[in-house]
Structure 1
Amino acid sequence: MTISGTHYKTGKAIQLQVEDGIIDKVKNLGQESFSNHVCPGFVDLQVNGFMGIDFNSGRLSADEVVSITEHLWHTGVTSYMPTLITNATAHIVQAIEAIVTACERNKLVNASIIGIHLEGPFLSKEDGPRGAHPLEHLKNPDWDLFVKWQELSKNRIKKITLAPELERAIDFIKNSVASGILVSLGHTSASEEQIALAVEAGATMSTHLGNAAHLTLPRHPNYIWSQLSHERLRASIIADGFHLPDSVIKVITKVKPESTILVSDCTKFAGLSAGTYTSHIGGEIELSAEGRLFIKKAPEMLAGSAQSLIWCVNKMIKSHLATVNQAIDMASVKPLEVLGKSAGLEKGKLADLVIFQKEACGIVVLQTYKSGQLVYSKSR
Structure 2
Amino acid sequence: MSGFVDLQVNGYHGVDFNCDDLTDEAILKACRQMRDDGVAACLPTIITDQIDSMARRIRRIAEAAETHAEVAEVVAGIHVEGPFISPEPGFVGAHPVDCVREATVDLAKQLVDAGRGRVRLVTLAPEMHGTVEVTRWLCDQSIVVAAGHCDASIAQLRQAIDAGLSMFTHLGNACPGQVHRHDNIVQRALSLSDQLAISLIADGHHVPWFALANYCKCIPNENIVIVTDAIAAAGLGPGFYRLAGQMVEVDQHLAAWAEGHGHFAGCATTMPQMAEMLGRHLGIDADRIDRWTRINPRRVLEG
- TM-score of the two chains, using structure 1 as the length reference: 0.75
Deviations 1:60-94 (A, max 9, x none): 22222111111111110010001000012232122
Aligned residue in 1 for 2:276: 314
Match of 1:245 among 208, 212, 227: 208
> How far apart in 1 are the matches of 2:242 and 2:107?
31
Match of 2:197 among 228, 231, 234: 234
Structure 1 gaps of 5+ residues are 1-38, 342-380
C-alpha contact (below 8 Å) 2:275/2:289 kept by paired residues: yes
Task: Note if 1:68 corresponds to 2:54.
Answer: no
Matched pairs, number: 301
C-alpha contact (below 8 Å) 1:159/1:181 kept by paired residues: yes
Equivalent residues in 2 for 1:85-164, closer than 5 Å = 85-164=47-126
> How far apart in 1 are the matches of 2:238 and 2:297?
30
Structure 2 gaps of 5+ residues are none
Task: Note if 1:254 corresponds to 2:217.
Answer: yes
The CA deviation at 1:313 is 0.9
The CA deviation at 1:280 is 5.7
Equivalent residues in 2 for 1:311-350, closer than 5 Å = 311-340=273-302
C-alpha contact (below 8 Å) 1:59/1:91 kept by paired residues: no
Kindly provide the amino acid, as one letter, of the partner of residue 247 in structure 1. Answer: F
Over 3 Å counting, the alpha-carbon distance change for 1:151 and 1:294 in structure 2 is closer
Task: Note if 1:188 corresponds to 2:150.
Answer: yes
Kindly provide the amino acid, as one letter, of the partner of residue 245 in structure 1. Answer: P
Deviations 1:180-224 (A, max 9, x none): 110100000111111111111111111000000121111222221
The CA deviation at 1:147 is 1.4
> How far apart in 2 are the matches of 1:264 and 1:135?
23
> How far apart in 2 are the matches of 1:295 and 1:108?
32
Aligned residue in 1 for 2:257: 294
Aligned residue in 1 for 2:235: 271
> How far apart in 2 are the matches of 1:277 and 1:54?
9
SS of the equivalent of 1:129 reads: coil
C-alpha contact (below 8 Å) 1:270/1:308 kept by paired residues: yes
> How far apart in 1 are the matches of 2:30 and 2:242?
20
The CA deviation at 1:43 is 0.3
C-alpha contact (below 8 Å) 1:185/1:206 kept by paired residues: yes
Which structure: greater strand fraction? 1
> How far apart in 2 are the matches of 1:320 and 1:307?
17
Over 3 Å counting, the alpha-carbon distance change for 1:338 and 1:278 in structure 2 is closer
> How far apart in 1 are the matches of 2:223 and 2:241?
36
C-alpha contact (below 8 Å) 1:206/1:236 kept by paired residues: yes
C-alpha contact (below 8 Å) 2:93/2:263 kept by paired residues: no
C-alpha contact (below 8 Å) 1:282/1:303 kept by paired residues: no
SS of the equivalent of 1:301 reads: coil
> How far apart in 2 are the matches of 1:270 and 1:150?
27
SS of the equivalent of 1:266 reads: coil
Over 3 Å counting, the alpha-carbon distance change for 1:259 and 1:90 in structure 2 is same
SS of the equivalent of 2:222 reads: coil
> How far apart in 2 are the matches of 1:167 and 1:286?
34
The CA deviation at 1:281 is 5.8
- TM-score of the two chains, using structure 2 as the length reference: 0.93
Segments of 4+ in structure 1 off by > 6 A? none
Over 3 Å counting, the alpha-carbon distance change for 1:297 and 1:164 in structure 2 is closer
Aligned residue in 2 for 1:28: none
> How far apart in 2 are the matches of 1:168 and 1:277?
34
> How far apart in 1 are the matches of 2:22 and 2:246?
20
Aligned residue in 2 for 1:179: 141
Greater Cα radius of gyration, structure 1 or 2 = 1
The CA deviation at 1:233 is 0.8
Which structure: greater helix fraction? 2
C-alpha contact (below 8 Å) 2:3/2:294 kept by paired residues: yes
C-alpha contact (below 8 Å) 2:77/2:120 kept by paired residues: yes
> How far apart in 2 are the matches of 1:110 and 1:90?
24
Over 3 Å counting, the alpha-carbon distance change for 1:184 and 1:330 in structure 2 is same
